[in-house]
Amino acid sequence: MLRYLTAGESHGPALTAIVEGFPSGITIDRELIDGELKRRQGGYGRGKRQTLETDRVIIDSGTYHGVTTGAPITLRLVNNDAKLERLQEPASPRGGHIDLAGSINYQTGIRQVLERASARETALRVAVGALAKLLLRELGIDVIGYVRELGGIAAPPLSFDLPVRDASPVYTLNPGADPAIVAAIDAAKAAGDTLGGIVETIVTGCPIGLGSHAQWDRKLDARLALAVMSIQAIKGVEIGLGIEAARRPGSQVMDPIAHEADHPVSDRRFGFRRPTNNAGGIEGGTSNGEPIVVRASKKPISTLAARGPSVNMATKSPQPAAYERSDVCAVPAASVIVENVVAFEIAAAIVEKYVGTSLAAIKAAHAALHDLARTHLETWGTAP
């Protein structure tokens, strides 16, 4: 079983993740992991904090001469802005944050709970997902995330007709990338407000048969939804058509099935072709070989420079919500986070399916199960 835990506070000395069950034999590609961390730090609308941090992964365990051993892998990120013990207790809780419910739940101040709830933790989740990508790429599985919509303005969708890597670079919203969206972020900032958006992740190259229909907690769509929904500020998750499916008749939701007799032996889909992908690559909790499409809505950031109404925790009298500094928009960052969180869940499903302790074992099982499925189809109806 591939799993991980994270630890660390936003302004503590460091953030740590322990990844358990990661197979042996995979060469650590630091450039890939640090590249993902850099992508997460980018995007138009981020606040001052990103100018202070330079996220680079430190690997404290689980490798030997740069190759994974199968032992738990410790990933660490240093916080440059480490000042936890010097930070003051906010006088008033911020709506949209853990501040009120968390300090009652844990009987602490607001600082203790907000530090752990902070999306600073998503840096670790990206590092863990990037590690997972090192396994996925060995099997030809690619994961890409991008922005679909920001502040209600549509961004160009990714074309399904092109190989995913060539179709579109990640939509990072550097200044000038999309004048309408950049202007909307600038306007929100000037008003002391913030913007949210919709991000999408597409996984290509998945074998048929990740997840299972047989039990609720083994369903791949359910696992993806849990993982993505757990990301700070994500408020909705869809697979394929998602919510839109409810508005259409069945004939416009169900993906027809065809078969192409003339397909290569290595074809992941054994010649089966689907002209549409409304299911988003998952039917009955199981990957069906089509691209997996996960969409998520990210709420606008709740900490407002214009300071929303709140109350003083000591006197209970009205006092605007606390404000120190904040992002105005972190939707591009969310696209990178969702992408890497999805990558991890796909890798976990791979490790589970192929019961793999090593990369070699996973590759052998991958090939053997493909052959088994092909024989199953070729001899269909002949077995007693």
Ligand X SMILES: C=C(O[C@@H]1CC(C(=O)O)=C[C@@H](OP(=O)(O)O)[C@H]1O)C(=O)O
Cβ atoms of 139 and 370 within 8 Å: the answer is no
Q: 300 among the known binding-site residues?
A: yes
For the bound state, the minimum distance from the C-beta of residue 332 to ligand FMN, rounded and expressed in Å, comes to 9
Instruction: Kindly state the number of chain residues that form the binding site for ligand X, as judged by CB under 6 A.
Output: 15
Looking at 53, 138, 186, 255, which residue binds ligand X (CB under 6 A)? 53
Distance separating alpha carbons of residues 130 and 278, to the nearest angstrom: 27
Distance separating alpha carbons of residues 200 and 240, to the nearest angstrom: 10
Q: In terms of CB distance, is 139 or 233 closer to ligand FMN?
A: 233
H-state helical runs in the chain: 30-41, 49-52, 99-105, 110-117, 122-138, 164-167, 179-190, 220-229, 331-354, 359-378
Sketch the per residue contact string, 229 through 248, with ligand X: x for CB under 6 A, - otherwise: ---x----------------
Q: Is 145 in the site for ligand FMN (CB under 6 A)?
A: no
For the bound state, the minimum distance from the C-beta of residue 46 to ligand FMN, rounded and expressed in Å, comes to 8
Cβ atoms of 59 and 73 within 8 Å: the answer is yes
Cβ atoms of 343 and 135 within 8 Å: the answer is no
Burial class (CB in 10 A: 0-12, 13-18, 19+), 26: buried
Tell me the window of 19-27, 178-186, 268-276, 320-328 that interacts with ligand X (CB under 6 A).
320-328
Distance separating alpha carbons of residues 101 and 315, to the nearest angstrom: 17
Distance separating alpha carbons of residues 117 and 41, to the nearest angstrom: 18
Q: In terms of CB distance, is 16 or 302 closer to ligand FMN?
A: 302
Q: Is 49 in the site for ligand X (CB under 6 A)?
A: yes
Cβ–Cβ contacts within 10 Å for residue 363, how many? 16
Tell me the window of 57-65, 127-135, 318-326, 347-355 that interacts with ligand X (CB under 6 A).
318-326
Tell me the window of 104-112, 126-134, 251-259, 324-332 that interacts with ligand X (CB under 6 A).
324-332
For the bound state, the minimum distance from the C-beta of residue 234 to ligand FMN, rounded and expressed in Å, comes to 7
Query: How many Cα neighbours within 13 Å face the side chain of 295?
Result: 17
Q: Is 172 in the site for ligand FMN (CB under 6 A)?
A: no
Q: Which residues contact 118 (CB under 8 A, 6 or more apart)?
A: 9, 10, 232
Looking at 57, 225, 329, 330, which residue binds ligand FMN (CB under 6 A)? 330
Q: 46 among the known binding-site residues?
A: yes
For the bound state, the minimum distance from the C-beta of residue 94 to ligand X, rounded and expressed in Å, comes to 9
Distance separating alpha carbons of residues 48 and 381, to the nearest angstrom: 64
Looking at 86, 247, 316, 325, which residue binds ligand X (CB under 6 A)? 325
Summarize as ranges the residues that interact with ligand FMN (CB under 6 A).
47, 96-98, 117-119, 122, 231-233, 299, 301-303, 326-327, 330, 333-334, 337
Q: Could you list the residues that contact ligand X (CB under 6 A)?
A: 10, 47, 49, 53, 81, 118-120, 122-123, 232, 324-327
